[in-house]
Amino acid sequence: MTRPKTKSPATDFAVALLDEFVRLGVRDVVLGPGSRSQALALAAAEFERIGLLRLRVRIDERVGGFLALGIAVETRTPVLLVTTSGTAVANLHPAVLEAHHSGVPLIVLSGDRPDELRGIGSNQTTEQPGIFGAAVTRTWDVGAPVGAAGEQDAAAQLARDAVAAASGPVHLNLSFAEPLSAPLQLEAPEVELARAVSTLDLPPEPGVVPAFELRSLPGTIVIAGTGAGERAEEVARELGVPLIAEVSSGAHFGPNLVVAYRELLDTANFGDRVARVIVFGHPTLSREVPALIQRRGVETIVVRSASSDDYNPGHRVTTFADTVTIVGDPSADSAWVGRWVSASRALIQPVDVAPDATADPSTHAKAELAAVRAPVTRRSLVEAVWRATWPHDRLVLGASRLIREADRVVTGKKIPVHANRGLAGIDGTISTALGIALSSQSSSAGTTRVLLGDLALLHDAGALLFGIGEARPRIQVIVGNDDGGTIFDVLEVASSAGANFDRVLLTPQQVSVEQLAAAYGWAYLRVDNRGQLDQALTASTGQTVIEVPLDR
């Protein structure tokens, strides 16, 4: 694309920067409006008009940060995140932290005052370079363009450097002086766009850590945490060993899957016979897994993921590797994996028993009616959501009791599941799901379902807001409403906190979810029994909040 020359060096710089990002394959921009970043905002809108970028606008920067994170997770490419100066930048910190700990590529472009306006009390001015600390791979503090020769080439080089460094989040702090923008009209290029870059799929640098050769050994199991991906299932199958795959791992399927792993790791002749553990991803959903790795005599091999930290409970991991390869014959001890899988299936007994088809019609009808009218429990909720979700859909699980319940009981199924487990916070759950929905549905007819608790809904209620002209995906926000943070009920503190427990830990709220949904223009459904739940979970054509009251 021919770079125009305007009366604003800020606009010329912004166009050159975005032009190079597009040439490198970046396709998505999330924008929080503001004055100091207006050159970037107006340029991004022009790039969208001529079909080079997809632009999403959000007035809440924290929402925008997690929206960008969801887009990057789904597209596996860097996403540009544009904000103005001041607290706008600070509001990105939660999403930047999650991206850092999960290895998700975000490129933050923050507008700032030029040097002469810093440190003198100028409005909306703070110390933005370094504001994200160690949570970004690299920070650039770029002086304000003044129209000098070579500035547009320097902007293009910045884009190249940022994409190269974006194994996680990076930060370009861009100073702009007045005039902060100029009228701009771009012409669509006549050349084919480059294939979108994918920093999440880049192979490890050659020679850094060689591929570790795995041979079949007695007592081996494979553990898959969040971000593990399908390779964990492949390795377990190729080795012929049990697979412990958390529900958000991307490996929760296959013939070797062991769902009831918590119980078996604490059972004689199962957990005590484990001699070698191969870990993919970041396990976070149980205490039994880190306890196993820290046990004396257990060899642990961790296959490094995109996360900023190597998984290493108790500093007992013996080997780290970028990749693993299987050598030799698979295990001949089929009884080892068979015992685990059979025992797990016996422990995960179905809670729903089909009505007796041989009973007389009246008895059969009453049994069916009773099943439909049965109250919804946490288990029946997660199982219903799991049943309703298929490979063309997306499922996002919030940090609550529900993801742990799903991890305990749902059977193997190869479907796309995501959860923000880098820091396992409740921040931005709906925003992340919207980013995933917007990106996945551009090439798919599926529905995105996000399952979360009532506090996670309230914490990210601003994500329900769509500006005029913003794309609206098919999404169901399924709220298991048990009136507060009941996850604390299952922790040790519940027995010792006394009278203050409800106020400072459970934190019950009295918000009308129905009125909240209506205020933001979302459809609303309330589910009071199993029959209503199954009906509510049918494929959505718009945006729906489904409230499911649960007992504490």
pLDDT tens profile 377-408: 999 999 999 999 999 999 999 998 999 999 99
Give percent above pLDDT 70 in the chain: 91
Write phi, then psi, for 260 (nearest 5 degrees): -85, 50
**What mean pLDDT is reported for the chain?**
90
Alpha-carbon gap, residue 549 to 270, rounded angstroms: 38
pLDDT at 208 over 50: no
What is the model's pLDDT at position 532? 94
Residue-wise pLDDT tens digits, 219-275: 999 999 999 999 999 999 999 999 999 999 999 999 999 999 999 999 999 999 999
For 212-347, CATH gives 3.40.50.1220
Q: Which CATH superfamily is domain 365-549 in?
A: Thiamin diphosphate (ThDP)-binding fold, Pyr/PP domains (3.40.50.970)
CB 130 within 8 A of CB 162: no
> pTM for the full model?
0.92
Least confident of 190-199, 236-245, 365-374, 477-486: 190-199
Question: 206: pLDDT confidence band, cut at 50, 70 and 90?
Answer: very low
E strand map for 297-403? 299-303, 319-321, 324-326, 394-397
Taking alpha carbons only, the member of 276, 224, 291, 277 closest to residue 251 is: 224
CB 110 within 8 A of CB 173: yes
What is the model's pLDDT at position 127? 85
Alpha-carbon gap, residue 369 to 363, rounded angstroms: 10
Residue-wise pLDDT tens digits, 303-352: 998 887 889 999 999 999 999 999 877 766 789 999 999 999 999 976 65
What is the model's pLDDT at position 499? 81
Dig out the tokens for 510 from the structure: 């009295």
Question: 288: pLDDT confidence band, cut at 50, 70 and 90?
Answer: very high
Instruction: Name residue, tokens 């918590």.
Output: 262
Dig out the tokens for 352 from the structure: 């729903």
pLDDT at 120 over 90: no
Indicate the domain borders of the chain: 9-185, 212-347, 365-549
CB 380 within 8 A of CB 356: no
Same fold, 212-347 and 365-549: yes
Pseudo-torsion of CA 55, 60, 61, 62, nearest 10°? -120
Looking at per-residue confidence, does 16 or 374 come out higher? Answer: 16
Dig out the tokens for 293 from the structure: 């790795």
- Angle formed by the axes of helices 378-388 and 401-409, nearest 10°: 70
Question: 67: pLDDT confidence band, cut at 50, 70 and 90?
Answer: very high
Q: Looking at the domain covering 9-185, what would its CATH class be? A: alpha beta
pLDDT at 471 over 70: yes
